[in-house]
Structure 1
Amino acid sequence: MNLLLIDKNWQHLLFILHIYFLFFVQIYGQRLEIKRNVDDVNNDQVQSVYVPLKKVFVEATIHSFAADVTIIQVFRNDEETPIEAVYCFPIEEQAAIYSFVARINDREIVAQLKEKKEAQNEYTQALRENHGAYLLEQDEKSQDNFIINIGALPPSTECTITIAYVTELDLVDGLIIRFVIPTTIAPRYDSKQGGISSPASTTSKYVQKSPYTIKFYCYIKKIVGETGQLIRKVSSSSHPIEVNSDQQDAYVIRFAEENTHLDRDILINIELAEKQVNTILTIESNAVMATFIPTEEDCRQARNNEQTNVFIFVVDCSGSMTSENKIGLTRDAVMLFLKSLPANSQFNIIQFGSNYMTLFSEITVVYNEANLRQAERMVSHMQADLGGTELLAPLQWLKKHSPVKG
């Protein structure tokens, strides 16, 4: 997946079996890598060094089971010559980046999500026309890393990297919403060693000799979900924090100590006043997040096959899913789900694009050998050939049909 750096346009996230287009990145083990000779950027023999990290600022807004996180990191070129700055960071499933900005002096580079081939074609064309173009893409040597060339960084110049992402939060024991910021957004400061050490999960090297400064602010909405669930307590098991409840609609969290070093993950626990019930939460105007938390009785009935399990697979078969990396992986995933359904289940499959089609005319059918074989035949022939991406119609069809009781 590539990002062509043009403007700040961003498209909405879709909660659906649309596996390929969600861009998941966990912010850990980041580093700003440089090449000493800017004119020799294609020479693999050029030795890479690492730009010192000076400051880190983390700001998060938590609304129920979702967090919007902005991380700002300031790097500085202490070399005597200009350098080509290459920003590297690994990927992970927990976070979805929606904004990436690199700022050097008065230059600002903003990423726009593009299809891989489209981004490569536009990038190549821009180079032919001698236009400034920047490309963010996966590292060929390590597919779990992303790399962006952010241009020449002059001597004694700072570069500010701003990344914003959204992420889901875990619910622990039905009572505590847990928010975690991995410490390896920056190199670890080890007080025993008296300096910086690389995270155990990365091979990054750092040239920094003094600890960076970090500021952390977290805004937690006081009402959780459509049910108006109240928060009983906010605490941290990782760092001393200050909790300010003076604002009418949110708690404001910050570190209690000024010189806080990230030698462990930042962990915030949000304790609810009572155990959370099933919730449907609308986030802004273009995305819906549904949270379903079974009770102990629900789990007991499911274990003993005392209630019907209903599974409806809504699969994106629009033209945007073309290529085996998209529709092929989707077919594999649906096939795996079908073969893993528990006994006493009912199911159906809906394919959608410009229009939609259902495997069975009823809302769901009994999960048995005959119906499973029919579903497998449908999935094996599934293609990205249904045109546009119109999700509303199949959701309306689901709304008109009553679910199976029991």
Structure 2
Amino acid sequence: MANVCGLRTLKNEPVPLKSVEVQVDVQGHVASVSSTLQYENQESSPVEAVFIFPMESNATIYSFVAHIGDVEIKAQVKEKEQAQEEYDDAVSSGQQAFLLEESDESSDVFRLSVGSLPPGQSASVTLSYVTELAVQADDALRFCLPAVLNPRYTPAGCKSLTAEGSGPQGESVPYTLSLGVHMYSPSTVQSVQSNCPLTPLEFLSQDNTEAKVSLSPGHKFDRDVELLLYYGQPHQPTAILEAGQPSAQAGSLMGDTVAMLSFYPEIPSIPSSQMTSKGEFIFVVDRSCSMDCPMNQHNYKQTRISSARDTLLLLLKSLPVGCYFNIYGFGSSFESYFPESVEYMQANMETAVQKVRSMQADMGGTEILHVLWNIYSKPCLPSHPRQLFVFTDGEVGNTKEVIDLVKRHALSHRCFTFGIGEGVSSALVNGMAEGGSGHPQFITGAERLQPKVMQSLGFAMQPVVEDISVKWNIPADISVTPLSPLPNVLFQNERAILYFQLTGQRSGNISGSVSLHHTLDKKVVENTLTINMKPKEDSSMLIHRLGARKAILALEGEREMVGKKNRKKRAVELSIQSGVSSSYTAFIAVNTENKQPIKGPLLRRNIKPMMFSAPRVPMACFKLCSAPMPGPLFGGSRSVAAAKMACSAPMSAPLFGASRSVPAAKMASSRSVPAAKMACSAPMFGRMGGGGGWRKVKRKCQDAAPMAPAPERDAPETKDPLLELISLQKVDGSWDLQPSLASIFGRREEEVATALPGKPELLPVWATVLAVLWLHVHKMDFKDEWQFVAAKAVAWIKAQSGADLTGFVAAGNSFLGLQVALQNFGLKE
């Protein structure tokens, strides 16, 4: 299929991007990333390239350097409106300029504009950022290099729209890509795992605290690159003090010492049987059409919505007796299974299970605000803390508005989020969880959703660390200022990274200590860390920049109107002073060395490199006809002339705030985008979002250019015996003997009933014992998924009278040919 957009020029030739090189330096749990993109204008006219790319939501961009020939241009951070005007003025007057800016709608989407690149000219830009590495359930540190930016759905009336367009799947990219990782760990580096092929791990020190690894040659950036780093002592608390810049003013953030503290509160796990049975559990499931896409690009059999269905079934069976629950589905509209949350009893559970089985990705776009408003408008239930579980593929355009809504209701609930599939918005998933004092999870590649959801369910029912405070024991002439608010709660195996500005720091080896105080199950706990108060010098100032970004985010997140103007002013000052990005500022670089204006018509290119992210929608999900994709990405942004469309689709609205019109006298007609001819009357899918619009396009295009069916997707799915077994469990934790249960054991119902080692009325006990035994042997690798199911079953078994439980387990082992010990079963300590 011909494709004249995305990574192609007007003549269907490769776009100017020639290579991408990424170097990652990991020091403990902080990663510093440097990405260099090399461009070459092979056309006969000057070109302006506009690149849209995703970024981890907690990334802090601190450096942006451009090279044109032998000339190096270092970008400066300026207030966004000023930077935009300088860029437009430079490009319209024939100068070379670069502009890097954050989306107004989501902190994980950036735009890079490369202006007035002459014919035959090469240029490169180097982007540097620093980010904290999230801790996973198995204590791994997760680094993600986003390589997929999905189209984000924008509700009607909103100003902005995230990138549209898709490159063809499986096509080789016309540029080279490389990624290397250098690790420095406070303890030993044990291993590195990835969803992409890696070279063998190479140790660079005898104590294995330094190592390096890289992506194998020939890797395609057709997925987010995820690395899991395993250290020998992952829970070791650390303190890093970084000295201020000698040239900066004393008392300013960059002039003072900044401390980064990392704590891992020890939170003991309690048995499932002792977990709370209280709570209102509300499950919110994205049913936009994009949820019908595969979980990953290499397995089309399981879609995101089918994984969500399986997970909901598991959740319904794992809930504690005595709680309340409800399920919402949302898209362009929303619906709930029950008008209000209902008690967890057999009839309500069976009603919910039947509805879950028929759940489809058929609700259009991704408008999550309306369903959240509805949930928050309902009063909370006394003595039942509200726990919100949100499942989405993250293709939401109004991310910041959604996060703000969650934050406004932070005191009434906790919000656990699950980002499903490639290209999910880390800003949305992390932001909702952080704003709702919950925990985020990401499911990519071939990962299963169920174990991560069960971990979060455990968090929801386990005690959490609360009333968090920090106390310093340091010389009195040193004052301490926190750079961001302390977290409200912490969960098991969760780390707290805190930043502080230390004013009045003296030289010399001065010792001090800092303590993290918190309450756990109404008991006060203290974790103390001894530190050397002499700060280390680091010209990169990474700790300062991370602390500055935290302070800026705190200022941006304040919703009170009182003092809003002063908060914005302070955020801009911190951004410019520290040289890090913010929603109020942008990086601007102009080549003032070039005294000769660039002449000729300036062509506009919306280029989406896969590394920095072409939106990559699986073709089995997104079946377009042979029409080329739309031209300009930003509608009216900077008065780019509209492409002539054969279809009647409206152009998208600007992504990065208000239109920045360049005077017509300066622009003339040199920046117009050539007409993009559409082969069908389909509306632009981006206008309708990461969900609903896709099916509308598909239906209108199929008559003109039918697509071959995807047999992998159409083939019937094989039933999972684990889910089949769990689906038969009753609310109280027991199983009734029936043919479908017996068939999972590989027996007939009559055989199972005949082997009963007791009275006929104990048949449910017998069936339940056999079910738990089967789980322990045949599905032990999935224990994280069925642990709550089994805990309920064992609790129910123990409550039954008239049964010799030891004898039942022995008879069950004999009947099924197993050897499960009583203590493993849960009947004996």
TM-score normalised according to structure 1 size? 0.52
- Aligned pair 1:175/2:135, yes or no? no
Q: What residue in structure 2 maps to residue 356 of structure 1?
A: none
- AA in 2 matched with 1:383: G
Listed one character per residue, the Cα deviations across residues 50-79 of structure 1 (whole Å, up to 9, x for unaligned) are 724322211101112110011112222221
Task: Give, in whole Å, the separation in 2 of the partners of 1:381 and 1:233.
Answer: 49
Specify which of 15, 20, 33 is matched with residue 69 of structure 1. 33
Deviation (angstroms), 1:127 = 9.3
- Aligned pair 1:276/2:229, yes or no? no
Task: Give, in whole Å, the separation in 2 of the partners of 1:266 and 1:132.
Answer: 32
Specify which of 114, 117, 136 is matched with residue 78 of structure 2. 114
Q: What residue in structure 2 maps to residue 203 of structure 1?
A: 165
Listed one character per residue, the Cα deviations across residues 92-117 of structure 1 (whole Å, up to 9, x for unaligned) are 51322111223222343332222234
Listed one character per residue, the Cα deviations across residues 343-397 of structure 1 (whole Å, up to 9, x for unaligned) are 996589xxx99xxxxxxxxx99xxxxxxxxxxxxxx9685356997999xxxxxx
Larger Rg: 2
Q: Classify 1:290/1:122 alpha carbon distance in 2 versus 1 (closer, same or farther; 3 Å).
A: same
Q: What residue in structure 2 maps to residue 245 of structure 1?
A: 203
Task: Give, in whole Å, the separation in 2 of the partners of 1:82 and 1:330.
Answer: 41
CA contact (8 A) 2:56 2:146 kept: no
Q: What residue in structure 1 maps to residue 189 of structure 2?
A: 231
Q: Classify 1:123/1:161 alpha carbon distance in 2 versus 1 (closer, same or farther; 3 Å).
A: closer
Deviation (angstroms), 1:165 = 1.1
Deviation (angstroms), 1:49 = 9.2
Q: Classify 1:101/1:294 alpha carbon distance in 2 versus 1 (closer, same or farther; 3 Å).
A: same
Q: Classify 1:383/1:332 alpha carbon distance in 2 versus 1 (closer, same or farther; 3 Å).
A: farther
Q: Classify 1:299/1:32 alpha carbon distance in 2 versus 1 (closer, same or farther; 3 Å).
A: farther
Q: What residue in structure 2 maps to residue 212 of structure 1?
A: 175
CA contact (8 A) 2:191 2:201 kept: no
Task: Give, in whole Å, the separation in 1 of the partners of 2:90 and 2:46.
Answer: 23
Q: Classify 1:176/1:283 alpha carbon distance in 2 versus 1 (closer, same or farther; 3 Å).
A: farther
Deviation (angstroms), 1:253 = 1.2
CA contact (8 A) 2:55 2:145 kept: no
Task: Give, in whole Å, the separation in 1 of the partners of 2:92 and 2:173.
Answer: 43
Deviation (angstroms), 1:233 = 2.4
Question: Aligned with 2:268: secondary structure?
Answer: helix
Deviation (angstroms), 1:251 = 0.5
Specify which of 255, 258, 266 is matched with residue 295 of structure 1. 266
Listed one character per residue, the Cα deviations across residues 144-189 of structure 1 (whole Å, up to 9, x for unaligned) are 754444332222332212111111212122522222223349xxxx
Q: Classify 1:236/1:148 alpha carbon distance in 2 versus 1 (closer, same or farther; 3 Å).
A: closer
For structure 2, the 5+ residue unaligned runs are 1-5, 150-162, 244-256, 277-399, 414-436, 438-462, 470-479, 482-516, 519-558, 575-829
Q: Classify 1:122/1:283 alpha carbon distance in 2 versus 1 (closer, same or farther; 3 Å).
A: farther
C-alpha root-mean-square deviation of aligned residues, in Å?
5.1
Summarize the alignment of residues 66-105 of structure 1 with structure 2, pairs less than 5 Å apart: 66-90=30-54, 93-105=57-69
TM-score normalised according to structure 2 size? 0.28
Task: Give, in whole Å, the separation in 1 of the partners of 2:202 and 2:190.
Answer: 14
Structure of greater relative contact order (alpha carbons < 8 Å, 6+ residues apart) = 2
Task: Give, in whole Å, the separation in 2 of the partners of 1:108 and 1:288.
Answer: 33
Task: Give, in whole Å, the separation in 1 of the partners of 2:217 and 2:70.
Answer: 30
Identity fraction in percent: 28
Task: Give, in whole Å, the separation in 1 of the partners of 2:131 and 2:119.
Answer: 36
Question: Aligned with 1:51: secondary structure?
Answer: coil
Deviation (angstroms), 1:136 = 3.8
Task: Give, in whole Å, the separation in 2 of the partners of 1:233 and 1:293.
Answer: 21
Task: Give, in whole Å, the separation in 1 of the partners of 2:90 and 2:40.
Answer: 29
Q: Classify 1:303/1:111 alpha carbon distance in 2 versus 1 (closer, same or farther; 3 Å).
A: farther
Task: Give, in whole Å, the separation in 1 of the partners of 2:115 and 2:560.
Answer: 46
Task: Give, in whole Å, the separation in 2 of the partners of 1:143 and 1:179.
Answer: 18
- AA in 2 matched with 1:233: S
- AA in 2 matched with 1:179: F
Q: What residue in structure 1 maps to residue 681 of structure 2?
A: none
Question: Aligned with 1:173: secondary structure?
Answer: coil
Number of residue pairs matched by the alignment = 281
Task: Give, in whole Å, the separation in 1 of the partners of 2:126 and 2:101.
Answer: 17
The structure richer in strand per residue is 1
- Aligned pair 1:162/2:126, yes or no? yes
Summarize the alignment of residues 5-404 of structure 1 with structure 2, pairs less than 5 Å apart: 51-90=15-54, 93-119=57-83, 135-137=99-101, 145-184=109-148, 203-205=165-167, 211-223=174-186, 229-247=187-205, 250-255=210-215, 257-274=216-233, 276-277=235-236, 279-282=237-240, 284-285=242-243, 287-297=258-268, 336-340=409-413, 346=467, 383=563
Deviation (angstroms), 1:215 = 2.4
CA contact (8 A) 2:52 2:112 kept: yes
Task: Give, in whole Å, the separation in 2 of the partners of 1:236 and 1:329.
Answer: 31
